[in-house]
Amino acid sequence: MTDGVLVAGAGPTGLMTAYELVRRGVPVRLIDAADGPATTSRAAAIHARTIEVLDQVGLYEAFEARAVSGRGIAFYADGAELASMDATFTTQATRFDQVWFLDQVITEELLREALAAHGVSVEWGARLIELAENPEAVTVRLRHADGTLEEGQVAWLVGADGGHSVVRDQLGVRLTGESSETWLIADAELDFAEPLEHDRIRWIRADGKTVMIFPLVGDRRWRLLDTVDVAYDGDLGAVAERFAGKLSRGLGREVTVATPSWVSVFTIQQRAVPVMQSRAGVGRPSRCFLVGDAAHVHSPASGQGLNTGLQDAVNLAWKLAAATRGELSVERAAALLDSYSAERVPVGQALLSTTQMATALVNLRNSTVDQHLPAVFATLRALPPLFHAVNQGFLGGMSGLAIAYPTSPLTVHDGDTTRTGPRPGQRLAQVRRADARDPSWQPVLAALREPGWTLLVAMTETAAGSLDVWRSKAWPTPAVHPVDGLAAEQLGLRCAQPAAETTGWLLVRPDGHVAARGRGSAELDRALARIAR
């Protein structure tokens, strides 16, 4: 079949996994059981950390050209606007103080186009039905749309096949958690008697019930969410009428809802797996992995599922590429691939808690609370520091900017609490848009777009002529980039004694997270040895 990677599932996560692999020269075969691409909008929010990732993998411009740029969220109750929160992340520096709204069908289209540029296309109508892993390969059986069966071996298998994952079931891994409320969502064009900007999420209380609307691509298109009246018998007009009444009362202006183009009723799932890869023997690398909804399913209340899946893909792909290229010993490949579960399982588990809180807010059904909502929001507005803290906690938690891997086996602990800049395990690109325009930052951000390891070194006069000191023949072998000016200061690369042996450095992983930092070549050698164990 392939000496590279078989990716089962061509949703956003599978597409991103395949793209990140082929970008690193890894042979990929991408299959999906469906007859062809999905046509409905589905997940629609892309948060700040994922926007950073899209920039890093070279897809920012393509996505930015199609997305609706969102500014945050506004809250309403029975005709009055209570408050508005902006996606401005003052406690977590980023170039992207925004949320993008983009139909999942467009996200998938853009990723398929990116893959096609590398000569990879989706094999539709190919369903994985069975797998068996051995130390050298994975034997798989596929059923094609015409009923024919195909059997063969692949070196590696990635299950991106969703909440009903065949790969997960075949591996004997179980989703644990709970299912709770049933919600209804619909996509429709809205007209407002008084203008309402198409720029943010609206959380709306009307008659003690919650509805929400989210901007979609198209000047008048919105995603509508109802947490109470979820009956649907195929009558699109009835759905439109229900939403029109609630939105009009909640927003305090007449709202006309056109016939929805799509309606879905679903039960919220809050489940995650305890491990995101097969259980290989000691010292042997896993050959099967789970990404996205195959590993964790969440309430859509905060729009986290697609974002988490794309970040799973980026985390796994560079590690799998290193193992596939044969540049590591068997033991080292096993340790590197084991770090995937070590890093991403806690992210999926933590997300269960945050999405539960968001679900509780969306699903609020205590009519007594409505009596106090105006006073609560009035108090928050009267206390700007408190309102700011709530804003940052609420929207900042959705942004994904705080995700870090401080306890990862690929992170070297740093005890220097006085040093500024990103700490080991954190994302490197902690820079605001205005500062990122500085000439010193541009080569740093360009280096992040390269698919390998990066070593950022403070450029001093004494270090300028001896960059070879910073190059290592051990794995990983980073590309060395000198940094000066504002970027060096903000990254914590400056030191009191500007000598080559004390020059500050940052070792950055291919996914943009800092693996280690220190001063001088001796500390760098120790960090490389620690990571390469």
Q: What percent of the chain has pLDDT over 90?
A: 68
Q: What share of the chain is helix, strand, coil (3-state, %, to 5)?
A: 35, 25, 40
Is 487 found in the same domain as 348?
no
Has residue 398 got a pLDDT over 70?
A: yes
Estimate to the nearest angstrom the gap between the alpha carbon of 69 and the chain centroid: 17
Is 111 found in the same domain as 128?
yes
The CATH number linked to 505 is 3.40.30.10
306 lies in a domain? yes
Least confident of 42-46, 54-58, 166-170, 445-449: 42-46
Neighbours of 438 (CB within 10 A): 14
Least confident of 43-47, 105-109, 150-154, 432-436: 43-47
253 lies in a domain? yes
Specify the DSSP element, H or E, that contains 260.
Answer: none
Specify the DSSP element, H or E, that contains 524.
Answer: helix 520-531
* Three-class secondary structure of residue 107 per DSSP: helix
pTM for the whole structure: 0.93
Residue keyed to tokens 């050959």: 287
pLDDT band at 465; cut points 50, 70, 90:
very low
Estimate to the nearest angstrom the gap between the alpha carbon of 424 and the chain centroid: 20
Cis (ω within 30 of 0) for the bond into 476?
yes
Has residue 310 got a pLDDT over 50?
A: yes
Neighbours of 25 (CB within 10 A): 12
Question: Which of 317, 288, 290, 314 is closest to 25 using CA atoms?
Answer: 317
Distance CA 377, CA 287 (A): 52
Count: domains in the chain:
3
pLDDT digits (tens, 9 = 90+) for 196-210: 999 999 999 988 888
The CATH number linked to 44 is 3.50.50.60
Q: Which domain holds residue 505?
A: 433-531
Is 303 found in the same domain as 195?
no
pLDDT digits (tens, 9 = 90+) for 287-300: 999 999 999 987 77
Question: pLDDT at position 387, please?
Answer: 80
Has residue 435 got a pLDDT over 70?
A: yes
How far is it between the farthest Cα atoms of the chain? 75
pLDDT digits (tens, 9 = 90+) for 175-195: 988 777 788 999 999 999 999
Measured over the CA atoms of residue 238, residue 243, residue 249 and residue 253, the dihedral's sign is: negative
pLDDT band at 267; cut points 50, 70, 90:
confident
Distance CA 475, CA 479 (A): 12
> 104-116 and 12-22 are packed helices; what angle lies between their axes, rounded to 10 degrees?
20
Has residue 469 got a pLDDT over 60?
A: no
DSSP state of 103: -
Is 60 found in the same domain as 20?
yes
* Residue 21 identity (one-letter amino acid): L
Has residue 171 got a pLDDT over 80?
A: yes
Question: pLDDT at position 439, please?
Answer: 97
Of 362, 381, 416, the residue at which a domain comes to its end is: 362
More confident residue, 350 or 354: 350
Has residue 364 got a pLDDT over 80?
A: no
472 lies in a domain? yes
Has residue 356 got a pLDDT over 80?
A: no
More confident residue, 349 or 101: 101
Least confident of 137-151, 429-443, 518-532: 518-532
The answer to whether 56 and 454 are in contact (CB under 8 A) is no
Is 228 found in the same domain as 353?
no
Least confident of 51-60, 100-109, 324-333, 390-399: 390-399
Question: pLDDT at position 500, please?
Answer: 46
Three-state DSSP string of 284-320 = CCCCEEECHHHCEECCHHHCCHHHHHHHHHHHHHHHH
Is 158 found in the same domain as 29?
yes
Question: pLDDT at position 168, please?
Answer: 97
Is 146 found in the same domain as 126?
yes
Is 376 found in the same domain as 313?
no
Measured over the CA atoms of residue 155, residue 160, residue 166 and residue 168, the dihedral's sign is: positive
Q: Kindly state the average pLDDT of the residues 119-130.
A: 98
Residue keyed to tokens 């007209």: 191
Question: pLDDT at position 357, please?
Answer: 61
453 CB-near residues (< 8 Å, 6+ apart): 476, 477, 478, 479, 507, 508, 509, 510, 515
